[in-house]
């Protein structure tokens, strides 16, 4: 089983001025249990726009996915955003 949850493309219009050397990227979150142990994991893929297959893929067990979720929530609070 593999199911896509969300896909976001971040292009130059989403970036602040002064970041000319930053590569526009896309990120994808999916769920998969296509492993030998059949344990479902959260799959996070980050790759350059137009560079399918050239990015990084993290296969996160539930504990690591929760840790990432907490880190993102903490970062949002640091910049004054509510969860």
Distances (CA, A) of 71 to 55, 67, 68: 21, 6, 5
What is the pTM assigned to this prediction?
A: 0.81
CA distance 36 to 26: 28
pLDDT in tens, 3-58: 889 898 887 777 777 777 777 889 999 999 988 888 999 999 999 888 888 899 99
pLDDT at 83 over 80: no
Beta pairing partners, 31? 3, 42
pLDDT at 1 over 70: yes
């Amino acid at each position: 089983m593999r199911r896509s949850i969300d896909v976001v493309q971040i292009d130059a219009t989403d970036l602040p001025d002064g970041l000319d050397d930053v590569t526009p990227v896309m990120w994808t979150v999916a769920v998969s249990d296509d492993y030998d142990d059949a344990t479902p994991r959260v799959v996070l893929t980050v790759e350059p726009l137009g560079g399918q297959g050239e990015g990084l893929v993290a296969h996160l067990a539930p504990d690591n996915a929760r840790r990432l979720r907490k880190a993102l929530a903490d970062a949002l609070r640091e910049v004054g955003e509510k969860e």
